[in-house]
Amino acid sequence: MKSDSSFQFIDLDAAQRTSALLHEVLGNEKPWYPVMGCRPVSSGCDHCVGLQLHNDWLRRNGRPTTTTLQPPALQQSEIGRVRAFSREDHVVVAPGSDLFDEAITDEQIDYIILTIASRPDVLFYWFTKHAERQRDYLLALSTYPNTPGSRPRPKWPLAN
């Protein structure tokens, strides 16, 4: 049997693989990292791209990479970057992380969602493995009185 020499396997270089991975995860959406880190919660997490996304962000910001996922933490330096998004952009909040992990306080989530609310011309969305906490948080927001002297909280639902 004659082998067909016209077939070639082409391996993308590391930068192209990373770009392809990010495109597969994010599509044309833009990432915004107000929270970084994630904790595995099930066997479904064994093949997550969260560590790759985390390390890509660390590299772009001149920080050392890690071999394991770190618990989620607020990235204060990322909050102001919300102003850089263009009108009608689609933005994924904390890709490869989890905004509703118990390591992120309600006050920190309030801060992030108030920041999102400041840009009604941009569409934001997020993914979470903690759907119950997200549900409870959003239901509480919809009934929060926002009276003078109380801690400012976002009004739910947001315009965007």
- The per-residue pLDDT for range 97-153, each reduced to its tens digit, is 899 999 999 999 999 999 999 999 999 989 899 999 999 999 988 888 777 877 788
pLDDT at 20 over 70: no
What is the band of 16 on the pLDDT scale with cuts at 50, 70, 90? Answer: low
Query: What confidence score (pLDDT) does residue 3 get?
Result: 54
* Best CA proximity match to 55, nearest among 99, 13, 97, 90: 97
Under 8 Å between Cβ of 92 and 126: yes
The CA distance from 128 to 97, in Å, is: 8
DSSP state for residue 72 in the 8-state scheme: P
pLDDT, tens only, 63-113: 888 888 788 999 999 999 999 999 989 999 998 889 999 999 999 999 999
Query: What confidence score (pLDDT) does residue 117 get?
Result: 94
Query: What confidence score (pLDDT) does residue 21 get?
Result: 57
Query: What confidence score (pLDDT) does residue 63 get?
Result: 84
